[in-house]
Amino acid sequence: MSPAIELDAVDREILRLLQLDARTQNKDLAERVGLAPSTCLARVRRLSRAGVITGFTAVVDPDAVGRAVEALLSVQMRHARSLVDPFVEAVRDLPETRAVFHVTGRADFVVHVACGTVGDLQRLVLDEFTARAEVGHVETHLVYSRWDGGPLPPFPAETGD
């Protein structure tokens, strides 16, 4: 987020409501935050231009599209800076990849994947991860359940009221 943008209580409420339902119509959003529709739209556009809102996405249930087996792959790399970007690009291009995190600790990356079967997960780990020369070790953690957090409010020091 740009340090130049100040978020007031209305901006924070717009962000909260859009995170709960990004498909909220502008007129409904404006009514809920107490603004005229044109003013509300201008605020949403300002938040987008400033990089506070980075996009609107559809959330797809992996089970509903035949990807019931989810896992977190902890990946240790053979360290060389030149290998990181090609690895991330290759992993992001895999249809099973949901998210890639560059982390600290024993692993260098944690990759969230969704596969159709345990056999598909095994193939993914063996053929797409451990077969890569830059990958030293992969530890697989099956996901039994998942709970998402709520809307992400601005950090209190940056609220701007």
Q: Is the pTM of this model over 0.85?
A: no
Report whether 127 contacts 93 (CB < 8 A): no
Which residues are within 8 A (CB) of 48 and not within 5 positions of it... i.e. 6 or more apart? 54
Task: Provide the residue ranges of all domains of the chain, joining segments of one domain with +.
Answer: 9-58, 62-142
Q: Which CATH architecture describes the domain 62-142?
A: 2-Layer Sandwich (3.30)
Residues 57, 58, 61, 65, Cα dihedral to 10°: -110
The predicted structure's pLDDT at residue 2 = 46
Letter for the amino acid at 85?
D
CATH of domain 9-58: 1.10.10.10
Give all strands (DSSP E) within 17-149, no chain letters. Answer: 69-77, 97-102, 109-115, 135-142
Per-residue pLDDT of the chain (161 residues; tens, 9 = 90+): 445 689 999 999 999 999 999 999 999 999 999 999 999 999 999 999 999 999 998 889 999 999 999 999 999 998 778 889 999 999 999 999 999 999 999 999 999 999 999 999 999 999 999 999 999 999 999 999 999 999 998 887 544 44
Q: CA distances (Å), 46 to each of 20, 35, 39, 43, 85, in order?
A: 19, 15, 10, 5, 32
